[in-house]
Amino acid sequence: MADTTPPKEIEAMDTPDEHVTFMRRQWAALAAFAWEKYLSEGRGAIVIDLRHASKDGPTINVPTYYVAEGSHSLAERGGWPTSEVAEVIEDYDPEQDVIFIFLRLDGDVFHYNVSDELTPRQAYESKSGKTPRPS
């Protein structure tokens, strides 16, 4: 029988403090990704899927993807995990905020509405080489 216990390094990532650390470390890339997906797919959230994370030598791979409101992907998941998440998706400001949904190892779901001085639009424009436009 195969051991289905996740590696300790992945278990260690599954705490609120580590979620915040992950978002901070990856902010520029994730904010740019969120803005790009917002432009092409509409409002949504970045899903951090710790349940399907894997360890390959020293590297930890965490599936990360965007799910948009009204998308086929969202329908396949049966909608947003809670009415509170649905409300956050409806109300957030995509130019300032990124919604993150963490699929936790214990089956629980945490969500965060995150903003930073580097806005999603600015992160995208910086990454794509476009000159940021004044707001």
Residues 11-24 have pLDDT tens digits of 999 999 999 999 99
In a domain, 83, yes or no: yes
In a domain, 25, yes or no: yes
With the C-alpha atoms ordered 7, 10, 14, 15, is the resulting torsion angle positive or negative?
positive
Percent of the chain with pLDDT over 70: 92
In a domain, 28, yes or no: yes
Distance CA 76, CA 86 (A): 15
Q: Provide the phi-psi class of 74: left if phi over 0, else alpha when psi is between -120 and 50, else beta.
A: alpha
Q: Using 50, 70 and 90 to split pLDDT, how confident is the model at 44? A: very high
In a domain, 2, yes or no: no
Q: What pLDDT, on the 0 to 100 scale, is given for residue 3?
A: 52
Distance CA 110, CA 125 (A): 29
In a domain, 132, yes or no: no
* pTM, entire model: 0.89
Domain range holding 16? 8-126
In a domain, 1, yes or no: no
Q: Using 50, 70 and 90 to split pLDDT, how confident is the model at 127? A: confident
In a domain, 75, yes or no: yes
